[in-house]
Amino acid sequence: MSGARDLLIEIGTEELPPKALLRLSQAFTDGVRKGLEQAGLAFGSVHSYAAPRRLAIWIEHLATAQADREQIRRGPALTAAFDGEGNPTSGAQGFARSCGVTMEQLEQLETDKGAWLVYRVMERGRTTAELIPDIVTQALHQLPIPKRMRWGAGTAEFVRPVHWIVLLFGDVVIDAEILSVKSGRETRGHRFHHPQSIYIGEPAAYAPLLETEGRVMADFAARREAIRGQVIEAGVATGGRALINDDLLDEVTALVEWPVAVVGDFETRFLDVPSEALISTMQDNQKYFPVVDAQGKLLPHFITISNIVSRDPAQVKAGNERVVRPRLSDAAFFWNQDRKQRLESRIDKLGTMVFQTKLGTLLDKQKRVASLAGHIATAIGADKQLAERAAMLAKCDLLTHMVFEFPELQGVMGRYYAQHDGEPIEVAQALDEQYRPRFAGDALPETATGQALAIADRLDTLVGIFAIGQPPTGDKDPFALRRAALGVVRILIEAQRDLDLAELLATAAAGFPAVLKANAAVDGVFDFMMERLRAYYTDAGIAPDVFDAVRAQRPTRPLDFHARLHAVTEFRALPEAESLAAANKRSGNILRKTEENIPATVGNILRKTEENIPDTVDAARLIDTAELDLAKALGELRGSVGAQFDHGDYTAGLRRLAALREPVDRFFDNVMVMAEDAALRANRLALLQQLQGLFLRVADLSRLQS
pLDDT at 601: 38
Interior/surface letters 224-255, b for 16+ CB within 10 angstroms, e for the rest: bebbbebbbebbeebebbbbbeeebbbbbbbb
Q: Which residue has the higher pLDDT, 614 or 52?
A: 52
d(CA 56, CA 35): 16
In order of 129, 271, 308, 415, the CA distances from 304 in angstroms are 44, 19, 12, 30
Contact 183, 166 (CB under 8 A): yes
**Mean pLDDT of all residues belonging to the chain:** 91
Which uninterrupted H or E stretch holds 385? helix 384-393
Confidence of residue 287 (pLDDT cuts 50, 70, 90): very high
- Return the biggest CA–CA distance within the chain: 110
pLDDT at 622: 80
Which uninterrupted H or E stretch holds 40? none
Confidence of residue 603 (pLDDT cuts 50, 70, 90): very low
Phi and psi angles of residue 202, each rounded to the nearest 5 degrees, phi first: -155, 155
Taking residue 626's Cβ as centre, other Cβ atoms within 10 Å add up to 17
Which DSSP string do the residues of 112-168 spell out, in sequence order? Answer: TTEEEEEEEEEEPPPBHHHHHHHHHHHHHHTS--SS-B--TTS---BSS-EEEEEEE
d(CA 168, CA 201): 9
Phi-psi region of 114 (alpha: psi -120 to 50; beta: other; left: phi over 0): left
Confidence of residue 572 (pLDDT cuts 50, 70, 90): confident
Instruction: For 2-50, write each residue's pLDDT tens digit.
Output: 489 999 999 999 999 999 999 999 999 999 999 999 999 999 999 999 9
Average pLDDT over residues 105-120: 84
Q: Was domain 357-541 assigned CATH 1.10.3210?
A: yes
Q: In terms of C-beta density within 10 A (0-12 exposed, 13-18 middle, 19 or more buried), how is residue 472 classed?
A: middle
pLDDT at 597: 53
Residue 609 has pLDDT above 50, yes or no: no
Instruction: For 421-453, write each residue's pLDDT tens digit.
Output: 999 999 999 999 999 999 888 999 999 999 999
Taking residue 473's Cβ as centre, other Cβ atoms within 10 Å add up to 7
d(CA 395, CA 434): 10
Contact 488, 497 (CB under 8 A): no
Instruction: For 184-213, write each residue's pLDDT tens digit.
Output: 999 999 999 999 999 999 999 999 999 999
pLDDT at 600: 42
Contact 116, 77 (CB under 8 A): yes
CA 498 from centre of chain: 27
Residue 254 has pLDDT above 70, yes or no: yes
Average pLDDT over residues 654-669: 84
pLDDT at 606: 38
Q: In angstroms, how far is the first alpha carbon of the chain from the final one?
A: 47
Instruction: For 496-535, write each residue's pLDDT tens digit.
Output: 999 999 999 999 999 999 999 999 999 999 999 999 999 9
List the domain boundaries for the chain. Answer: 4-66+127-212, 69-123, 220-338, 357-541, 569-703
Average pLDDT over residues 543-552: 94
Instruction: For 457-479, write each residue's pLDDT tens digit.
Output: 999 999 999 999 999 988 889 99
d(CA 28, CA 229): 28
d(CA 394, CA 152): 53
Residue 86 has pLDDT above 80, yes or no: yes
pLDDT at 594: 67
Taking residue 209's Cβ as centre, other Cβ atoms within 10 Å add up to 19
Confidence of residue 595 (pLDDT cuts 50, 70, 90): low
Spatial CB neighbours of 676, under 8 Å, sequence gap ≥ 6? none
Contact 6, 170 (CB under 8 A): yes
Residue 555 has pLDDT above 80, yes or no: yes
pLDDT at 50: 98
- Tell whether pTM > 0.85: no
Average pLDDT over residues 395-403: 97
Contact 490, 559 (CB under 8 A): no
Residue 355's SS3 state is: strand
The length of the chain in residues reads: 706
Residue 113 has pLDDT above 60, yes or no: yes
Fold of 569-703: Isoleucyl-tRNA Synthetase; Domain 1 (1.10.730)
pLDDT at 602: 38
d(CA 418, CA 107): 90
Taking residue 629's Cβ as centre, other Cβ atoms within 10 Å add up to 17
d(CA 149, CA 515): 50
d(CA 255, CA 50): 11
pLDDT at 421: 97
d(CA 31, CA 24): 10
Peptide bond into 437 cis (omega under 30): yes
